[in-house]
Amino acid sequence: MMRPRVVGRLLVIQRALVRHGLDDFVRATHLYRPFRFLAYLSPWTWFQRSTGKTRGERLRLALEELGPIFVKFGQALSTRRDLLPVDIADELALLQDRVPPFDSEIAVATIESTFGRKLEEIFAEFDRTPLAAASIAQVHAARLKDGAEVVVKILRPGMREIIERDLGVLEALAALADAYWEPSRRLRPREIVAEYRKTILDELDLMREAGNAAQLKRNFQGSNLLYVPAVYWDYCRSNVMVMERIHGIIISRIDELKARNTDFAKLAENGVEIFFTQVFRHNFFHADMHPGNIFVQVDDPANPRYAAIDFGIVGTLEARDQHYLAENFMAFFDRDYARVAALHVESGWVPRGTRVDELESAVRTVCEPIFNKPLKDISFAQVLLRLFETARRFDMQIQPQLILLQKTLLNIEGLGRQLYPELDLWKTAQPILRAWMRDRMSPRTLFTGLRAQLPDAIETLKAVPRIFKAGVRAAADGDLPWTQQGVQLAELRATIEREHARRESALLAGTLWIAGLLWLALGAPHPVVGWVQLAAAAALGLRLRWTRSHPAAGG
């Protein structure tokens, strides 16, 4: 049963939508149909008047009124000009940097209460007119006592209570969908809202955002692709953050970039390279890359450089998901539909019992018409939408852990095509992916991984004799549960013998491994001896793993 606060919020949402002339859109939405009676009973519906505003303006104003979660939804939509009418996309783009600010006196009071000092004691200068206002916080320009130009980000007051309230609404709607909407098992609305809850609440901790910025800056240290402003840690708290002020042109100001003779092709391709580098090389990506958060530094127009702000939302992937995504991208653009289908089954994105040949045929049906176009004309948004439609037949489940990545990829593509309509996403992404996959399987990477796991392997080897002795003692004392003693004793004897052989092999492998490492590390003559020892250890390790998974073959 929904709590009164949630029902009250639904009424507020309905009133705002009706006031801005959007009630027809809501009544057409499947999940809102159970609440149609609210519209018919509502006096706002009876007395609504024409607003005289365009549909784009009405939608933007409604989202602004409804608060940060809805503003962020509009920001994400604004980059998808290939999916939205131009008038709506233009209006929603205003949500990126024209959210109404809160009173600067509140901002000053927040700073002074947070640091326990007067504003004049903290900053040499502080501009009380906000530099920018966003859905979660607003930013003021300032100067530190040492003369450094900075920006001060202050959390909007009462933001956690507002977010928690709207998350309650989303959770209630997700529960309704889970109970009454058949596709919900595949779309997993409760898990999606739970994932979004973690993401949005993380944004409310500006210390976390400062940490994200510092990590991203380290990742791109010395790179000409992306500039990340420095964090002034002594001035950072959970609700106030101070960073280096950067100068550049907001990426949505296309005319200004044109006037500076910016190389748009290079700019668009660099954006794609930044995204794939973050996802696959660094496994740490900026996941809120709408145009209001991206600047372009055009000191050298032929080599424009991105500069990013607002690091409240970042994403990472498990190694397994990273691998399957890269493989899927490669198979998709190689038109290897059998591989795409097999990867979806292997990854668990579709049920294990799915027939790969049927899924392959369905993927081919979606993709072949698309590939009749030049690669530069292929939209990932359209491909994903078509694939999702096809996947319904195979009970494909939404992967909540991939939602941030999908959103960011679509944002990047939308932004790239806005900058340079001829952008060939695959031409830029393919070399990065191929290099990453080669690097993952290189001997150096494998050796580094083995070396990192060596301490754990040694500790495991130390535990083998103790486990073995405990097993033998239990067998001798008759503490092992078996019913057919004669048969099981024979099996136990064989098992003990195999374990004894494995233990000796494991000890030998460990000894060879350590000896090989020491031989190479000490620079002994004939380094080939060290490599032979390492190879022998690796071979013994692989044999142990194989006999463990095939016990009958180990006797």
CA distances (Å), 455 to each of 64, 446, 548, in order? 55, 16, 21
Q: 454: Cβ–Cβ under 8 A, 6 or more apart, which residues?
A: 513, 517
Residues 6 or more apart whose CB falls under 8 angstroms from that of 142 comprise 123, 125, 126, 127, 150, 151, 152, 242
278-311 b/e (C-beta count within 10 Å ≥ 16 → b)? bbbeeebbbbbbbbbbbbbebeeeeebbbbbbbb
- The 10 Å CB-count burial string (b at 16+, else e) for 19-31 is bbbbbeebbeeee
Q: Cα(321)–Cα(339) distance, rounded to whole angstroms?
A: 16
Please state at what angle helix 86-93 crosses helix 68-78, rounded to 10 degrees. 130
Amino acid at 330: M
What is the spatial distance between Cα 515 and Cα 537, in angstroms, rounded to a whole number? 10
Question: Which of 23, 166, 288, 424 is an active site residue?
Answer: 288
**Residues facing residue 32 across a β-bridge:** none
Catalytic (active site) residue 288: yes
Residue type (1 letter), 380: F
Rg (CA), the chain: 29
Please state, in angstroms and rounded to a whole number, the distance separating the CA atoms of residues 408 and 311: 13
Helix (H) or strand (E) holding 46: helix 43-46
Tell me how far apart the alpha carbons of residues 408 and 74 are, in angstroms, rounded to a whole number.
14
Q: What are phi and psi of 258, to 5 degrees?
A: -60, -40
Closest CA to 143 of 259, 27, 244: 244
> Residues 253, 254, 257, 258: what is their CA dihedral angle, to the nearest 10 degrees?
-150
Helix (H) or strand (E) holding 240: strand 240-244
CA atoms of 349 and 397, how far apart (whole Å)? 6
Which residue is associated with the tokens 């795409």? 340
Strands (E), 39-177: 123-126, 132-133, 137-144, 149-155
Question: d(Cα 417, Cα 424) in Å, to the nearest integer?
Answer: 9
- Relative to beta strand 294-297, strand 226-227 is unpaired
> For residue 74, what are the CA distances in angstroms to 21, 61, 84, 93, 99?
17, 11, 11, 8, 11
> Minimal CA–CA distance to 543: which of 492, 501, 515, 484?
501
Residues belonging to the active site? 288
